[in-house]
Structure 1
Amino acid sequence: MEHISHIWPTLAELAEDLGKPYPTVAAWKHRGRIPSDYDFDLIAAAERRGKMLTLEELAAARRSPKAAEGAA
C-alpha cells in the first residue's frame, strides 16, 4: 500500500475518505493490498484530495515477484 502513501499518509485518513471502518483498512494493510473492487473509489477519493491516481498505477502496484513466481 506504499503506492498510495503520498495521498493518504495514515490509515485513518484513507478509511475516512473511503467511508470504511478503520479495522477494514487496517486489514488491507495487514494483507498488503486493497481489493480491486475499490479501485474507482480510490481514484475518486484521490481526486477529491487534488491528487492523481490511475488504474494503471493501481494495477502496477498489484504486480509483485511472488505473483510472478506463482504464475510460473
Structure 2
Amino acid sequence: MSKVGMGPMHLEVGFFGLLMLLYNLALFVLFVLVLMFLVSGIRFFKQKPRNDEVLIAKLDELIRIQQEETGKDGG
C-alpha cells in the first residue's frame, strides 16, 4: 500500500469536512438567533399591556387637563 495517492484525497476530505462543519455551525448560530428573537418577542408582548395601561392613563390625564382648560376659557 503506497501512500503516494493519499495526499490530495486527504486534503479533499479535510476541505469538505471543514465545509460541513462550517455549515453545521451556521445552522446552529441561525437556530440560536431564532430562539433569541422568539424570547425577545415573548418578553415584549408580556410587557406591552403594562406599557399600554401607563400610556392610556397619561392620555386620560392630558384629555382631562385640556377639557378643564377649555371649560375655563369658554365659560
Question: Please, what TM-score do these two structures have when normalized by structure 1?
Answer: 0.20
Larger C-alpha radius of gyration, 1 or 2? Answer: 2
Q: Which has the higher helix share?
A: 2
Higher relative contact order (CA 8 A, sep 6+): 1
Question: Please, what TM-score do these two structures have when normalized by structure 2?
Answer: 0.19
